[in-house]
Amino acid sequence: MYSIFKKEFKAFFTGPTGYLIVGLFLLFNGLLLWFFKGNWNILNTGFADMQAFFDSTPWLFLLLIPAITMRSFSEEYSNGTIEILKTRPLSNWQIVMGKFWSSLALIAMTLAPTFVYAISIGILAKPEQIDWGPIIGSYFGLFFLGAAFTAIGLFTSIFSKNQILAFLSAILISFILFYGIEQGAVWYPKLPVFFQKLSLFEHYRSISKGVLDTKDFIYFVSICFTFLFVTKLRLGK
């Protein structure tokens, strides 16, 4: 699995794509939070917190993560290297998980520089102290949300040779699970409770309060496992 992880992670940075994706994410976040006037500008909120960052980042993830994962299997199909990949002494699970962890490592690396925002707010807030609990909890929430979007992206990539189609499909499915179900519960309050609990946004919001509940952890693990398991089955065929 490590060989797949290393190969995929290095592939992100052998060309301009990886640098471009990470750069655009940090650029848009920086502009939204510090320069553009609006509800997401930290300096305009009047509060020493990062809620604006944690509200805007999931929407950027909806574009960023499908852009990262769209090439995972689609490129193998289009280049004709999927057969070579499957002849390596690796199980289908190891191949899928190697690609999953490499994409997730890139997402974690993309999030790491944003800790500067938290440090900057901490400095600006002095002599008052900011509440680090929700900030740390929200970072965990972003990581779990990124893992779910990554699993969805791999799922759409395994079913299409066309990277653009895989990209758009991943956005659509991620949007429905993140926001569509949440809005469905608002518009149709009579929907079963279990259906409302399928919303990614519901569990992301729960973790963002600074308390990591077991049910939220199980939910994100279940979402990842479901999509990765179907991806593994498809790879087996």
Cα(109)–Cα(101) distance, integer angstroms = 12
For residue 29, the enclosing domain spans 2-236
In tens digits, the chain (237 residues) has pLDDT values of: 777 777 777 777 777 777 888 888 888 877 777 776 766 666 666 565 677 788 888 988 998 899 888 888 888 787 777 777 777 777 888 889 988 999 999 898 888 888 888 887 777 766 566 777 778 888 888 999 999 999 999 999 998 888 899 999 999 999 988 887 766 655 666 655 566 677 888 888 888 776 777 888 899 999 999 999 999 998 887
Residue with tokens 């553009």, as numbered in its chain: 36
Cα(131)–Cα(74) distance, integer angstroms = 43
pLDDT at 220: 92
Residue 194 has a CB neighbour count (10 Å cut-off) of 7
Q: How many domains does the chain have?
A: 1
Cα(32)–Cα(142) distance, integer angstroms = 17
pLDDT at 49: 67
pLDDT at 224: 94
Cα(155)–Cα(100) distance, integer angstroms = 10
pLDDT at 42: 66
Cα(52)–Cα(32) distance, integer angstroms = 9
pLDDT at 152: 95
**Predicted TM-score of the model (pTM):** 0.87
pLDDT at 65: 92
pLDDT at 196: 65
**DSSP per residue over 40-103, as a string?**
T-HHHH-SSS-HHHHHHHHHHHHHHHHHHHTTTTHHHHHHT-HHHHHTSS--HHHHHHHHHHHH
